[in-house]
């Protein structure tokens, strides 16, 4: 897609706003805003996240690390991650939510929930009062 501005630019030279604008333009050029409801985009985001999981399905932890480092698999994995990002950005566009601010707020909450001094090098479920909630530091 050589007609996409900034192709060849990496993360260090690209802002979230740049990516959001790329998605906004891509969607607008196709008149796809009509399909970009929060429901459709949330479902698409989950579907693409499942496609990322598929890249590592049936592998044990060590195999998944090797897969992630294997040049034969890196581009297909990168494409699935890009699909996730495209839908994430489109959902943020559709909802007019600021992802950077939301992520920073969430990291502050997670830092309180998982103090580094208590959780460094280990992971475990929170007490039962949080049962049914997410696992993981970004949940
Ligand atoms: Mg995909």
Which pLDDT score, from 0 to 100, does residue 7 have? Answer: 79
Q: Which H/E stretch holds residue 89?
A: helix 71-95
How far, in Å, CA of 40 to CA of 11, rounded? 27
Contacts for 49 with CB less than 8 Å, ≥ 6 apart: 84
Which pLDDT score, from 0 to 100, does residue 122 have? Answer: 85
Q: Give per-residue pLDDT as tens, 98-137.
A: 999 999 999 999 999 999 999 999 877 666 665 444 455 5
How far, in Å, CA of 91 to CA of 138, rounded? 19
Report residues near ion ligand 1: CB below 5 Å: 48, 51, 80, 83
pLDDT band at 1; cut points 50, 70, 90: very low
Ligand 1 centroid–CA 127 distance in Å is 36
Q: Give per-residue pLDDT as tens, 14-34.
A: 999 999 999 999 999 999 999
Ligand 1 centroid–CA 78 distance in Å is 10
- Compute CA 14 distance to the chain's CA centroid, rounded to the nearest angstrom: 16
Q: Give per-residue pLDDT as tens, 42-82.
A: 999 999 999 999 999 999 999 999 999 999 999 999 999 99
Residue 35 has pLDDT above 80, yes or no: yes
Ligand 1 centroid–CA 48 distance in Å is 5
pTM for this predicted structure: 0.85
Ligand 1 centroid–CA 105 distance in Å is 29
How far, in Å, CA of 101 to CA of 58, rounded? 36
Instruction: Considering only the C-alpha atoms of the chain, give the largest distance between any 2 of them, rounded to a whole number of Å.
Output: 52
How far, in Å, CA of 72 to CA of 78, rounded? 11
- Compute CA 12 distance to the chain's CA centroid, rounded to the nearest angstrom: 17
Residue 84 has pLDDT above 70, yes or no: yes
Domains in the chain: ranges and CATH: 15-97 (1.10.287.1080), 98-139 (no CATH)
Ligand 1 centroid–CA 79 distance in Å is 7
């Amino acid at each position: 897609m050589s007609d996409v501005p900034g192709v060849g630019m990496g993360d260090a030279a690209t802002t979230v706003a740049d990516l959001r604008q790329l998605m906004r333009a891509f969607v607008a050029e196709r008149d796809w805003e009509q399909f970009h409801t929060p429901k459709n985009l949330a479902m698409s985001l989950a579907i693409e996240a499942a496609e990322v999981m598929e890249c590592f399905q049936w592998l044990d932890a060590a195999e998944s690390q090797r897969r992630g480092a294997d040049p034969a698999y890196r581009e297909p994995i990168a494409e699935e991650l890009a699909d996730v990002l495209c839908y994430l950005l489109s959902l943020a566009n559709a909802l007019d939510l600021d992802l950077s601010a939301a992520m920073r707020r969430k990291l502050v909450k997670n830092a309180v929930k998982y103090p580094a001094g208590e959780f460094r090098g280990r992971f475990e479920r929170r007490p039962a009062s949080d049962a049914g909630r997410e696992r993981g530091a970004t949940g």
